[in-house]
Amino acid sequence: MMLRALRTLLRDPHGSWLWILGPALLASLPHFARYPAWIGLTCIGLWTLWLSTLRHPKLKPPRMIRFALTLGCVGGVFLSFGYLLGPEPGTALLLLLLALKPLEAKGRRDQIQILFMTYLLVLLQFLHSQSLLVAGYMILVVLIATAALVGVSHPASQTNPRFRLRQAGILLLQALPVMLILFVLFPRLPGSLWGLFQTPRTGLTGLSDTMNPGDISELLQSSEVVFRVAFVDQPPTVSRMYWRALVLWETDGRAWRVGEPDRASDHKYERDFDSWRVRALGEPVEYVLTMEAHDQRWLPVLEMPLTKGWGGQLSSSAEASSEMIHETLPDTETETPGVTAEELEPAPDFRIEIREELRRRARFQLQAALEFETNAPTRLERRRALALPPSGNERARELARKWVETSTEERAVVDQALFFFRDEAFGYTLRPPLLGKEAVDDFLFRTRSGYCEHYASAFTFLMRAAGIPARVVVGYQGGDRNPLGDYFVIRQYNAHAWSEVWLEETGWTRVDPTTVLAPERIDVGAGALVPNIDMPRMLSSREVGWVINAWRGLTQGWDAANTLWNQWVLDFDFERQRRFLERFGLAGTTRLERFGHLALALSLSFVAAALIYGVILLRSRPPEDALDKIYSRFCRRLAKIGIPRLPQEGPRDFALRATGVRPDLAEPITAISEGYIQLRYGESPSSGRDAGSLKAQQDELIRMVRAFRPKRA
């Protein structure tokens, strides 16, 4: 039944409804995955019902049934969202109304309404994503919808898809200059316009403020981009790229949490904060970090970050002096006030936080010290770095006490723990076994197999049991270099956990047990363990190395294209527009100056539109062929002697009038006119005339016109 309806649709001599509903369906598809399943199923069901009415018009529901269906859709949206006035329920309702509309549509007016609803769906898609892929897909939808609009406006072209697509492409190209002018000059709101209508995202994956055994190893299955980094000078080796995000202080013997300092000691905590410093022992590393929206406050930074409160600075940009350079890219999610240097909070445990959740892509210019010294922790910090549950994991505690008894200094205890992991047949696996309630003992003395979080957790527990201040740090390690853009991409599978211990001679010192068990994980990066994680399963065989390399090249090229898209399109926000206009002396801060920019943008747009329209008019004039050019030259020469050709005159009537005015020119005028009439209106070569003789006659006409040079009487 469905196939019969489709055949009926395709046999339509105009095919108009296929063009109308095609872009409507294409614009609806991306929205279906975002809303409850019943919305997509209902739309498909309504379109199926409409296709059935093409073959069986009696199936078309009457007005009361259509009204009931509309009320049902409105009620369903209200039950699903709890309200109707908002971007999410509004978009869902538009999808359903777009599916209902064909059931009542009859003529050209209804077709135009459906196309305008399609354009609105395209606009609403950008509230959720402005990625390069989405933009390309939506341009295709707009092209097809515009072609359908051309077909509605020119019914004679309904059966010519090539004509409609060509006209649609021409219209979009004609609008391009106006769009570019408005894009550059139209006044922008600070921040993201899209974000004004956004709701917080859900279902995000990534690091959290709690780490359980197996949490980080689960992220190996995700190739989602977390952030990108471009270094100002020579980048450090991958093995030195530790991106610090969260510091976990509290443990129950199994899970680790960020925790909170003792609120009773807040005054001490605040007073001691000023004594925290990081002193760089070498040249600082400067880099630009572009962070994807993650709805969290933490910011992954290269160890150790330098800030103005720690003997360094948040930015080394000459333009910004010692201020943090932060530019927001309006491609996300929920709008928050512009983040400035004052809203970035350095924490005493060498983290950088943002005062509000990051709900849009942001760019930061930062400094880090790869070689550094830190000062001693406060009493509160030391107490937190030694805290353990009152009981549990007794075998691990006993092992730590033995190391203390046989060691003369704290560094020796650290080395014994690393030797223990190396010499006791511990394994580094991407699929660690489950652990029991006594997780540390279970790992150290039974399974002896795990991923980075297992080793960081056990090592930190052992250090605290030995009386050495220690804490777990989670973040990311390494990164995948993209040679096309000369930057590094850090993905979820780069997530990593390591330990920090306080040693008298070196201060807070990073200790990563992974360097002992799986050095390739640190030296090369997580890609060494999961090299084909972003490849389709059918292509991930080691036997097709050239396919793997080709696939990797494609993904790098695509990521580089997305980076350029983010940098030059989505990054063109209020602040960047202001800096761009400053180069031409057009930047303004007052409302009056901004209205001036708006007037300039509109004026230039009108000028561009007028130029485009003029070019179209010039190009729309039908070109003269060779024969018409010859005859036009003949007419111009007669006009010079006072015998212009009248608009309503044909060649023969004009010749009769001209010979009446100038009888002395009757012979050449008659010969030229008759020759032109014979060539223009005579028989074509396909009807019997020889092509060679036709060419000879045309050459003879050219010769006579060249020789015809009349003078005034």
Angle, CA of 528, 531 and 534, to the nearest 5°: 145
Please give the radius of gyration of the chain, using alpha carbons only, rounded to the nearest integer: 37
φ, ψ (nearest 5 deg) of residue 522 = -90, -40
Contact 195, 333 (CB under 8 A): yes
Structure tokens at 431: 């699929």
Residues contacting residue 355 through CB under 8 Å, at least 6 positions apart? 297, 339, 343, 344, 345
Tell me whether residue 366 is exposed, middle or buried, using C-beta atoms within 10 angstroms of its C-beta: 0 to 12, 13 to 18, 19 or more: buried
- The owner of tokens 């014979």 is 678
Alpha carbons 654 and 673: distance in angstroms, whole number: 9
Please report how the helices 161-185 and 132-153 are oriented relative to each other, as an axis angle in degrees rounded to 10: 130
What is d(CA 21, CA 25) in angstroms, rounded to the nearest whole number? 6
Catalytic residue selected from 215, 441, 512, 573: 512
Note if 452 is an active site residue. Answer: yes
Q: 559, 480 in Cβ contact below 8 A?
A: no
- Choosing from 441, 496, 559, 573, the catalytic residue is 496
Q: Looking only at Cα atoms, what is the longest distance across the chain?
A: 133
Residue carrying the six token digits 């959740």: 357
Residue at 483: amino acid letter: P
- The answer for residues whose C-beta is within 8 angstroms of residue 103's C-beta and 6 or more apart is 46, 49, 50, 53, 60, 61, 66, 69
First-last CA distance in the chain: 83
Cβ atoms of 385 and 464 within 8 Å: the answer is yes
DSSP state of 445: I
Q: Are the C-beta atoms of residues 464 and 476 closer than 8 Å to each other?
A: no
Which among 559, 526, 508, 472 has a CA at the least distance from the CA of 241? 526
Q: Which of 446, 473, 445 lies closest to 457 in space, CA to CA?
A: 473
Q: Which own/partner contact pairs does 320-325 have at CB distance under 8 Å and 24+ positions apart? A: 320/365, 324/364, 324/365, 325/363, 325/364, 325/365
Closest to 49 measured CA to CA, from 60, 36, 35 = 60
Element (H, E) at 517: helix 514-517
- Measured from the Cβ of residue 467, the count of other Cβ atoms closer than 10 Å reads 13
Taking the C-alpha atoms of residue 146 and residue 152, their distance in angstroms, rounded to an integer, is: 10
Got the DSSP string for 138-185? HHHHHHHHHHHHHHHH-GGGTT-HHHHHHHHHHHHHHHHHHHHHHHHH
Can you say whether the dihedral through the CA atoms of 55, 61, 63, 67 is positive or negative?
negative
Clarify whether 128 is annotated catalytic: no
d(CA 502, CA 385): 9
Per the annotation, the verdict on 512 as an active-site residue is yes
441, 442, 452, 571: which is the annotated catalytic residue?
452
Token pair of 256 as six digits:
């680790």
Here the tokens at position 571 are 């990054």
Residues 6+ positions from 160 with CB-CB distance below 8 Å = none
Which residue type, as a one-letter code, is found at position 238? V
The catalytic residue positions are 452, 496, 512
